[in-house]
Amino acid sequence: MDDDAVNWDEYLQIASRSDVGMRRNNNQDNLCISLSTSLEQYKKFGHLFVVCDGMGGHAAGELASQLAADHLSHLHKRPAEESTDEQLRKNIERANAEIHRRGIANPEFRNMGTTCTCLLMTTAGAWAGHVGDSRLYRLRGSRLEQLTFDHSYTWEMKAAGINDASAEVFKNRIMRSLGPNPEVKVDIEGPFAIEAGDVFLLCSDGLTGPVTDRELAQILAALPPAEAAESLVNLANLRGGPDNITVIVAKYLRTIETGTSSLSGGRHSSSGLGMLTAWSILGLFVILAVVLGLFSDWTAAVAPGIAALVSLIVAIWLTIRHSSRSEVSVGPQRGKAPYTLSSGVASIEVVDKLRDMVVELVELAKREVWVLDWPSIDAQIVEVKDLDAKKQFQPAIAGYCRLINHLLRRGKSR
C-alpha cells in the first residue's frame, strides 16, 4: 500500500451528527474526527474520535467542549515518547488544564466543564479515554458493549455498593468532568480487539437518555453508519429531545495491513503463515507420492504418502486454529469494560415502537398538509409492514427508520 495514497473509505465507514435537540437554545456539544493522512502516520498515531458535552452557562459549556475537541485534535498527531495509552491520558489531562486555565481567567467561564469520550483506533487495537457520562459502545455481531463507565452519581453509588434513595434525584449529576479542577482522573480502557464488521458508537447523554441501549444496538445492526446516525438523532428528538444530541458511528470494514501489524489488533500473521506452509508441504508430498507411484515401485510412494497424511492433519489443525481466532490477542486489557451488554437481535418490541412513530408522523404530516410524494411513501409503508407481518424484524427496523428519516427531512424542508 502506498503510504501517501490511503483511501480510508475502503476500511472505515464514518458518520457524525450533532443536533441542538428540542429544548435547548444552543448546542454545547462538540465532536472531532482526526484521521491519519497516510499509512505511516496511522501506524504512529492511529485515528482519533472525540465527543464532548459541555456544561456551564450559555457560552461556557460550548467553549469548554470546543476547547477539549480542538485541543485533542491538535495533540493527536504530536510525537511523544509515552505509550499509546499514556499519551491519550496525558492529552486529555492537557485539555483539562487548558479549559481550567481559561475558566479561572474569566469570571463568565468560571467552573465551566465538559465530558470527554475518546476512541483511538491503532494497530494494537482500540483505546478508550474517558471522563464524564458521554459513552463509547462497540457492536460486534448482535452484542452491544458499553466500553466506558458513567461518572454519574447513580453509577458511582452503584459501583460503591451504596443503595441511595436519592440516586434517582441526582441521576444526571456528573461526578467528574474536564475543566472545573486543575487536575482530573482519566479512565483509560483497552486495548480492545477490532474486527471486520465492528461498529463503534460515541455519543452524548442527549442520545442515551431518551434511547435505550437495546434500541441503539438494533438500529446500529440494521443500518449503515450514515442512516443509523440520522435515525438515532431523530429518535431522540421524537422523544422530546431534552438535551443536545451528538453521535459518531464508525464501522470497521476490513483489515488495514501495515506490514508488521493490522488494525484488527495484530492478528497473528505467524499463524496464517504456518497454515499456508503446512498446506504447501502437503501439496509437495502428494505430488511426490503420485509421481513415485506412477513411475517407480509403489512401495517408494509409501513414505511420502505417510508424510502427506501427517501434513494433512497438521494443515487442518492449523486452519481450524487460525479460523477460530474471533478475538484477536491484544495483550493485557486496562479497565473493567464492558460495563453493560445489550442484544442487537431485532425484536418485535422495537419494531412496534418504530411502527407507532411512523403512524404518528404520517398523521401529523397529513394534518399539517406537508407536500410529500404520498404514493411513494404509501408504497414504502406497505412494503415495510409486509416485512413486519412476516416477522423479518431487522429489515423492518431498517425500513421504519428510513421512513422516519425521509418524513422528518421533508418536514424540516417545508
Residue 210 CB neighbour total at 10 angstroms: 20
The pLDDT of residue 327 is 41
At 22, is the pLDDT very low, low, confident or very high (cuts 50, 70, 90)?
Answer: very high
At 170, is the pLDDT very low, low, confident or very high (cuts 50, 70, 90)?
Answer: low
Helical H segments across 255-373, by residue range: 269-295, 302-323, 348-367
Long-range contact set of residues 294-302: C-beta below 8 Å, sequence gap at least 24: none
Helical H segments across 121-211, by residue range: 153-159, 205-208
The pLDDT of residue 241 is 97
Side-chain half-sphere exposure of 203, counting CA atoms within 13 A: 29
pLDDT in tens, 245-289: 999 999 999 887 665 444 444 434 444 556 667 667 877 777 877
Residue 128 has pLDDT above 90, yes or no: yes
- The C-alpha atoms of residue 362 and residue 366 are separated, in whole angstroms, by 6
For the chain, state the CA radius of gyration.
26
Sequence-ordered list of residues with C-beta below 8 angstroms from that of 39, at least 6 positions apart, any chain: 1, 2, 3, 6, 256, 258
Give domain limits for the chain: 8-252, 269-323, 346-412
- For 148, the grid coordinates are 466506558
At 345, is the pLDDT very low, low, confident or very high (cuts 50, 70, 90)?
Answer: very high
Phi-psi region of 179 (alpha: psi -120 to 50; beta: other; left: phi over 0): left
Q: What is the mean pLDDT of residues 211-228?
A: 98
What CATH class has 8-252?
Answer: alpha beta
At 403, is the pLDDT very low, low, confident or very high (cuts 50, 70, 90)?
Answer: very high
- Rounded to 5 degrees, what are φ and ψ at 324? -80, 0
At 59, is the pLDDT very low, low, confident or very high (cuts 50, 70, 90)?
Answer: confident
Q: What is the mean pLDDT of residues 135-147?
A: 97
Burial grade of 412 (CB within 10 A; 0-12, 13-18, 19 or more): exposed
Tell me which of 46-55, 84-93, 261-270 is least confident.
261-270
Residue 196 has pLDDT above 60, yes or no: yes
Burial grade of 351 (CB within 10 A; 0-12, 13-18, 19 or more): buried
The pLDDT of residue 322 is 52
Q: Which residues pair with 189 in a beta bridge?
A: 128
